[in-house]
Amino acid sequence: MTVSSNYLSPNLPEGLEGLAELALDLRWSWNHAADKLWKYIDPKIWSMTSNPWLMLQTVKTNRLKALATDSTFLGLMNELVEEHRKAIEEKAWFQQTHSKSTLKVAYFSMEYGLGEALPIYSGGLGILAGDYLKTASDLDVPLIGVGLLYQRGYFRQAIDAHGDQTEFYPYNDPDQLPITPVRDRNGQWLRIRIDFPGGALWLRAWEAIVGRVKLYLLDSNDPINSPPDRGITSELYGGGPELRLQQEIVLGIGGWRLLDALSIRPEVCHLNEGHAALAVVERARSFMLSEHQPFNVALAATRAGNIFTTHTPVEAGFDRFSPELVSRYLANYADQLGIGLGGLLALGRQDPANSQEPLNMAFLAMRGSGIVNGVSRLHGEVSRHIFQQLFPRWPKGEVPITHVTNGVHIPSWDSATADTTWTNACGKERWLNTMDTIKDDLKKITDESLWQLRNEEAEQLIHYVRSRLGRQLARAGASLQLIKQSNQILDPSVLTMGFARRFTAYKRPNLLLHDPDRLSRILNNLHRPVQLVIAGKAHPRDEEGKALVRAWWEYSLRSDVQNKVVFLSDYDMALAEQLVQGVDLWINTPRRPWEACGTSGMKVLVNGGLNLSERDGWWAEAYRTEVGWAIGDGQEHGDDPNWDAKEAEQTYRLLEEEIIPCFYERDDQGIPTAWIARMRTSMAELTPQFSTNRMLREYVDRLYLTVAQNYHKRSADGANESVRLCHWQELLETQWQKLHFGRLDVQREGKEYIMTVNVYLDTLEPKAVQVQLFAEPQGNGESEIHVMKIAEAAGTANSYLYRARIPALRPAEDYTPRIIPYFDGAAVPLEARQILWYES
C-alpha cells in the first residue's frame, strides 16, 4: 500500500514510510505484533490513544528524525513491514477452498466497530460489522465494506455527581483517523452525486484498510454542500426521521454509486440490516441502464444477488418513512426508475395498494433480496413470525427466512494471556482455517494452566478498573479521599461478575436490583464474596434507560457495597475488551425473545469466562449445564412484571446455590475443579462455534456462493431468464384468482394413501404451478410436503387430475392439497406469494 506523502502531516522522514503503511492498516487493532513499535515511538501517547495514525500526526518532528537514524527501530519497523506484507499476500481459507471462484461481496452497514481509532459505531450491530470485516481479512474472503463517515459518531457518556447520564459528541477529525481520501484517475477527490430537493448533494469518499479488506465511507461534510446537507453525516442515529432517511439514501444509493464509480461489480450485495435497503433499488437502476431493461426485469435479475440480514426482534424496530417524506426526496428518482413514487412505496409496504402506509425499509430490503436471514436460530423463528404478514395464508414455517447465528472475531477479544494459552495448545493459525482440531487440542490443557489464566486475567482487569475509576471520579469532582480509595477497590481473588450493554428496558439491566438487599448479602458473604463491574449507555432520548443507569450508580454508592460494585461510565470497545477478558461470569438478562442474538457473552468464551444468561438469542442454542447457567424457562412472557420477579428470584438462587459454591469449592491445590471443567468445555466447544470464522464460512458456503450463482444465471444472455420470470409473475397476478379445486378422493392401499384431486388452472400452464399435499409439523419436526403429479387431463379445458401416493403414517385428514407458484430457479414465496388451499 502506498500512502501519498501530501496526506501525511507532518511528512515522515525518509526511511520511515513503512510506518504509514502499518498505521493505516487497521489490522494492528487485532494483530498486536506492532504494539512494541508504537510503544517505542512514544509510550505515553500510545497508552493514551492506541491509535498509530494519530501518533504519527502528533509525535514531535525531532523524535521522528531521531527514529530515522535509530538502527534498532529501523530494523524492527522493516521486519514488521515485511511480515505485514507477507501475511496480506499469503493464501488463506477462501483461496484454498474456493480457488476457482470469482466471488465479490459488497457489505453495507450503517455502522462499523473496528476500534476506538475509528469511532463510527454505537453498539452490537456495528461491532458485528467490524468483526465481520476483520474475519473476511483473516479468511481472505473477497469482501468490500460500505458505510458512512460520521463527523461526531455516537455519543460519549459521563455520569455526574447525581448519577445522571450526560452526553458529549467529540469531533472526528479525518486527519487523525486511519483513513485516506479516495481519488479518481486524475488525482482528484472522488465525489458521488445524489439529487436532493434544492440541488445536488455531493459525497466525499474515504478508504479504510482492514487487512485484506477495504472499507469505503461516504461523507457529506463537503464545503460545496449547503450547511444542512453537510450535516447529514454529522451524527450516527441522530436527529429525526428526515435525517435518518437522508442517511439511508446516502448509504444505499450513494454507496452503490460509489462502487460503480470505482468500477467494482460485486455479484453479492449484503445488507446488514434494512438501513441500506435502497442499495437494492440503485443496483437495479444501474442494471437497467447497462442492460437496457425495465425496472421489473432489472430487479428480478439483481434481486437474486442480494442478501438481507435482519437483526430486529420486534416489528417496531423497523425504520419507517411517511409517503410525504419519501416523496420529497425520492419522487424524481422513482420516475427515473419508471415505476413512479407509488411503485417505489409499494415495494416497502405490507399492502402495496394502501396509499397511507409508510415505506418500511425492512420490507423493501426483503422484497429486493434473494435470501433473508436472522442472526440466531431463535431469531429466525421470531423473524418468520414478524414477516409472516407479507405472506398471507403461508404457514409461518415457510416464511422465507433462514438464519446464520452471529459470532465474534476471536483475535479482537482475547487477552494476551489467553492468546498465549491458546497458541500453546492449538498453534498460531488456529483462527485462520476451519478450526477442526481446536476442541480436542484445548481439552488437553491442565487445570493448573486454566486456573493460572483466570488469575492473571483477573489481576489485569482489577488494575484497569482501579485506574479508570480513579480518572472517572476525578472528572466528576470527587474528593481526593474517594479517588485514593479507588486504588483499593475490588479483589482479584474474588468471583467477579460483569454486566455491560445498552441500558434499555427490554434488556432488563435492573433485574439484579430487584431485591437490592439480597444482592448486597450475596456480595458481602464473608466466606464466599462476590464483586460486580457494571457499564452501559442509555440512548440520549431514552429517559427510562437513563433512570436504569442512575439506579445502578446510586446502588454502587451504598456503603455496604462501595468496594464491591463499580459502575464505569462511557462504555465503548476499549472498556468492553477489558471486561470480557477479566470477568469470571458474564450476566445477560434480556426479555426473551427480544435479544436477536447478542454477542457480548460470546466474547468471554475465549478468555475462560462463563455465562449466566436468559435463554435468548445465541444462548438459547448454546446453553447446556456443562458450559454455564441459564435463566428462564425457554418461553416468552412479554413484559410481565411478575415473571421478571420470578426470573430475578431464579438468578439470586442460581448465584447462591450453584454458581458461587462452584467457584469457591477447591481441591487440595486450591483449584475449583468443577468451575475449571466448565471453563474448559466452554472454551473448547463454544469458542469456535460462536466465532465469526464459523459464521463467515457459513455465509460463504450456504449463502454467498448460492446467490452469486443465481445472479449470474438471472443476468446472463441479456437477462433472458429474468424476462421470463417477470412474464410468469405477471401471469400469476392476472390469472391466480381463476384457479380452483374440484373433488378430493382418498383411497388406502395397504400402508399407503392414494390421494387424487381435480385442479382447474384456467389459462395457466401446469408448469407455472405446483400442486402439493401439506401436513403440519409433528412435534419439533418440519412440515410434511408431497408434490402431486398430473395423472391425466380431467376432460374439461385446463382441468387436471393430480395424484400422489404417500405413506399412511398419520391420519389422511392431516393432509391438505394446495397450489403454489412454480418457476425453476424462483424463490417462492419470496418472489411469488400466491397460495391456494383446498377447502372441503
Nearest to 592 by CA among 638, 654, 624, 651: 638
**143-148 and 105-109 strand pairing:** parallel
Q: Give the CA angle between residues 453, 435, 452 to the nearest 5°.
A: 5
- Confidence class of residue 262 from pLDDT cuts 50, 70 and 90? very high
Report whether pLDDT(241) > 70. Answer: yes
pLDDT one-digit tens code per residue, 392-413 = 999 999 999 999 999 999 999 9
pLDDT one-digit tens code per residue, 586-635 = 999 999 999 999 999 999 999 999 999 999 999 999 999 999 999 999 99
For the chain, the C-alpha Rg in angstroms (whole number) is 29
Supply the pLDDT for residue 607.
97
Report whether pLDDT(707) > 90. Answer: yes
Supply the pLDDT for residue 6.
45
**Count of CB atoms within 10 A of residue 485's CB?**
17
Report whether pLDDT(238) > 90. Answer: no
The whole-number average pLDDT for the span 789-798 is: 79
Query: Are residues 130 and 110 in contact, defined by beta-carbon separation less than 8 angstroms?
Result: no
Looking at residue 120, the DSSP 8-state letter turns out to be E
The whole-number average pLDDT for the span 753-770 is: 95
Q: Is 774 left (phi over 0), alpha (psi -120 to 50) or beta?
A: beta
| H or E element that contains 790 | strand 789-793
Phi, psi of 481, rounded to the nearest 5 degrees: -65, -45
Supply the pLDDT for residue 817.
98
CA distances from 779 to 241, 410, 782, 784 (A): 44, 37, 8, 12
Per cent of the chain over pLDDT 70 is 99
What are the beta bridge partners of residue 631? Answer: 614
Phi, psi of 746, rounded to the nearest 5 degrees: -125, 125
Query: Can you point out the beta strands (E) in 438-501?
Result: 495-500
pLDDT one-digit tens code per residue, 63-116 = 999 999 999 999 999 999 999 999 999 999 999 999 999 999 999 999 999 999
Instruction: Please list, in sequence order, all residues whose beta carbon lies within 8 angstroms of the beta carbon of residue 68, skipping any fewer than 6 positions away.
Output: 13, 14, 15, 16, 74
Supply the pLDDT for residue 7.
54
pLDDT one-digit tens code per residue, 300-325 = 999 999 999 999 998 888 999 999 99
Whole-angstrom distance, CA of residue 79 vs CA of residue 61 = 23
Query: Are residues 628 and 613 in contact, defined by beta-carbon separation less than 8 angstroms?
Result: yes
Query: Are residues 738 and 788 in contact, defined by beta-carbon separation less than 8 angstroms?
Result: no
* Domains, the chain: 5-89 (no CATH), 103-403 (3.40.50.2000), 430-690 (3.40.50.2000), 739-837 (2.60.40)
The mean predicted confidence, pLDDT, of the chain is 94
Q: For the range 598-601, what are the long-range contacts, defined as Cβ-Cβ under 8 Å and sequence gap of 24 or more? A: 598/124, 599/124, 599/127, 599/128, 599/131, 599/406, 599/407, 599/408, 599/690, 600/124, 600/500, 600/501, 600/576
Report whether pLDDT(685) > 90. Answer: yes
Report whether pLDDT(815) > 50. Answer: yes
- Confidence class of residue 439 from pLDDT cuts 50, 70 and 90? confident
What the block records as the C-alpha cell of 49 is 490513544
What the block records as the C-alpha cell of 443 is 481439552
- Confidence class of residue 5 from pLDDT cuts 50, 70 and 90? very low
Nearest to 775 by CA among 749, 807, 798: 807
Query: Are residues 699 and 803 in contact, defined by beta-carbon separation less than 8 angstroms?
Result: no
Supply the pLDDT for residue 797.
73
pLDDT one-digit tens code per residue, 33-73 = 899 999 999 999 998 888 999 999 889 999 999 999 999 99
Supply the pLDDT for residue 476.
83
